[in-house]
């Protein structure tokens, strides 16, 4: 095999983007050989827009049995990811799953277990930010101990502005029953994955969420989250979809420096000349103020800056190419599929913390989370039925 024959399941916005990039020849070693969507109007639209002549399916079983594809990319609404991935693996197909891996961490484990039964198949997640050069650089810096032990992580990303028309564009969007949540499961999974990828899984979290605070939706559109890392460092994560001016800023405080990322395009690395602990033990109040104000004659830190241009599509394309390389050459993908459960466990804990009104340990009881989510789905359906 010199080229991976790929089928895409789910021809919404992202599924169509993937099809376009592949048919435009932007992805190395992948050929789009089939598409699938339960709504035939979607596949027809894609074929007409991209001017391609490829088989279209409305049933995944037929696609998987067609012998037209070696691998599938799953870009359906979130609830369907697990079942489709398991079905594809049982059919002998390599699998790439769009974020998030699913809604229930407990069910994602079944997908991971099925993957373990097929070690010959590539199982990967579409966490495209892992190939963002800035976050790759951050991982390298943290691994080398460049800023010392991590003390605090703070990420505010409110640049996910979404208007009401966005939410009204599909009936499944921003619903507990159709999407499984709001900003935490739709817009923020990439950053939540990066948090655990860079700093390890949090051990505890306390979340304060707002539901439909500035939009006519039933799910979360505003989140303020505290978490604790296994090493004792604390962190905050703030996100929303109602900030038209938006902020994207990550700060990582270490014992010997600080890392700052702005707008996922500018990285600032500040390395202290002496560690904070050394300065803490040696300086009195006046000396410390003079040092931070640049009045002591000594240098507190040196600074490096790295910038990259906007490259959202490039990162997705790179992930597709990485998946193809894994299929063709046996190289481990950037985001192995069984890592997808980690960010979902974190999100499950955020929701459960807010619903219960207390901090929760991670991972949470999967049965408790599922039970609580189903309560929200039930209430949402009652509201919908009354409106009809």
What is the tens place of the pLDDT at every residue in 228-252? Answer: 998 899 999 999 999 999 999 999 9
- Show the DSSP H helices in 24-132 as ranges: 40-50, 60-64, 81-90, 105-116
Mean pLDDT of 317-341: 96
Cβ atoms of 292 and 319 closer than 8 Å: no
Which CATH superfamily hosts domain 130-311+344-382? Dihydrodipicolinate Reductase; domain 2 (3.30.360.10)
3-state secondary structure of 317: helix
Give the pLDDT band (50/70/90) at residue 385: confident
Per-residue pLDDT reduced to its tens digit, 264-283: 999 999 999 999 999 999 99
Residue matched to tokens 């460049």: 146
Output the pTM of the full model: 0.93
In degrees, rounded to 5, the angle at the alpha carbon of residue 207 between the alpha carbons of residues 97 and 234 is 90
pLDDT at 213 over 90: yes
Give residue 161's pLDDT: 97
For the cut 90, the answer to whether the pLDDT of residue 10 exceeds it is: yes
Query: Is it the case that residue 312 has pLDDT exceeding 80?
Result: no
Share of the chain above pLDDT 70, in %: 100
Q: At 209, phi and psi to the nearest 5?
A: -115, 150
* Other CB atoms within 10 A of residue 74 CB: 25
Tokens of 7: 């089928």
Return d(Cα 152, Cα 21) in angstroms, integer: 39
Question: 388 pLDDT exceeds 70?
Answer: no
Q: Please, what is the average pLDDT of the chain?
A: 96
Residue 17: the pLDDT is 96
pLDDT tops 80 at residue 222: yes
Mean pLDDT within 70-87: 97
Give the DSSP per-residue string, 153-219.
EEEEE------HHHHHTSTTTT-TTTTSSSTTTTTSHHHHHHHHHHH--EEEEEEEEEESSSSS-SS
Statement: residue 369 has pLDDT above 70: yes
The proportion of the chain whose per-residue pLDDT surpasses 90, expressed as a percent, equals 94
The sheet carrying 30-36 orders its strands as: 56-57, 30-36, 4-9, 71-74, 94-98, 123-126
Write the CATH number of the domain with boundaries 4-127+312-336. 3.40.50.720
Boundaries of every domain in the chain: 4-127+312-336, 130-311+344-382
Q: Do domains 4-127+312-336 and 130-311+344-382 have the same CATH topology?
A: no
Average pLDDT (61-89) is 97
Q: What's the whole-number mean pLDDT along residues 218-226? A: 98
């Amino acid at each position: 095999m010199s080229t991976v024959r790929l089928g895409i399941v789910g021809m919404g916005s992202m599924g169509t983007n993937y099809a376009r990039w592949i048919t435009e020849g932007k992805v190395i070693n992948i050929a789009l050989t089939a598409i699938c969507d339960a709504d035939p109007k979607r596949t027809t639209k894609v074929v007409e827009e991209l001017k391609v002549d490829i088989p279209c399916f409305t049933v995944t079983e037929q696609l998987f049995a067609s012998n037209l594809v070696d691998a599938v990319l799953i870009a359906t609404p979130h609830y369907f990811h697990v079942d489709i991935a398991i079905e594809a693996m049982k059919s002998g197909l390599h699998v790439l799953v769009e974020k998030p891996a699913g809604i229930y961490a407990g069910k994602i484990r079944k997908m991971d277990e099925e993957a373990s039964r097929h070690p010959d198949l590539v199982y990967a997640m579409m966490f495209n930010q892992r190939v963002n050069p800035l976050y790759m650089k951050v991982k390298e810096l943290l691994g080398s101990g460049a800023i010392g032990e991590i003390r605090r992580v703070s990420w505010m990303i409110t640049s996910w502005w979404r208007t009401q028309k966005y939410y009204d564009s599909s009936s499944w969007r921003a619903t507990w029953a159709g999407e499984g949540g709001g900003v935490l499961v739709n817009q923020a999974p990439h950053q939540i994955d990066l948090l655990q990828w860079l700093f390890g899984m949090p051990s505890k979290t306390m979340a304060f969420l707002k539901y439909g605070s500035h939009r006519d939706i039933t799910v979360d559109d505003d989140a303020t989250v505290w978490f604790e890392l296994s090493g004792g460092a604390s962190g905050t994560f703030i996100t929303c979809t109602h900030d038209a001016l938006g902020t994207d800023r990550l700060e990582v405080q270490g014992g010997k420096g600080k890392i700052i990322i702005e707008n996922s395009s500018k990285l600032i690395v500040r390395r202290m000349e002496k560690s904070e602990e050394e300065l803490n033990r040696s300086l009195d109040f006046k000396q410390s103020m003079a040092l931070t104000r640049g009045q002591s004659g000594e240098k507190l830190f040196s600074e490096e800056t790295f910038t990259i241009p906007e490259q959202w599509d490039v990162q997705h394309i790179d992930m597709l190419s990485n998946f193809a390389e894994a299929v063709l050459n046996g190289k481990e993908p950037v985001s192995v599929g069984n890592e997808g459960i980690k960010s979902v466990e974190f999100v499950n804990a955020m929701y459960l913390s807010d619903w219960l009104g207390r901090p929760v340990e991670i991972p949470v009881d999967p049965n408790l989370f599922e039970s609580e989510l189903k309560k929200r789905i039930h209430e949402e359906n009652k509201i919908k039925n009354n409106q009809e």
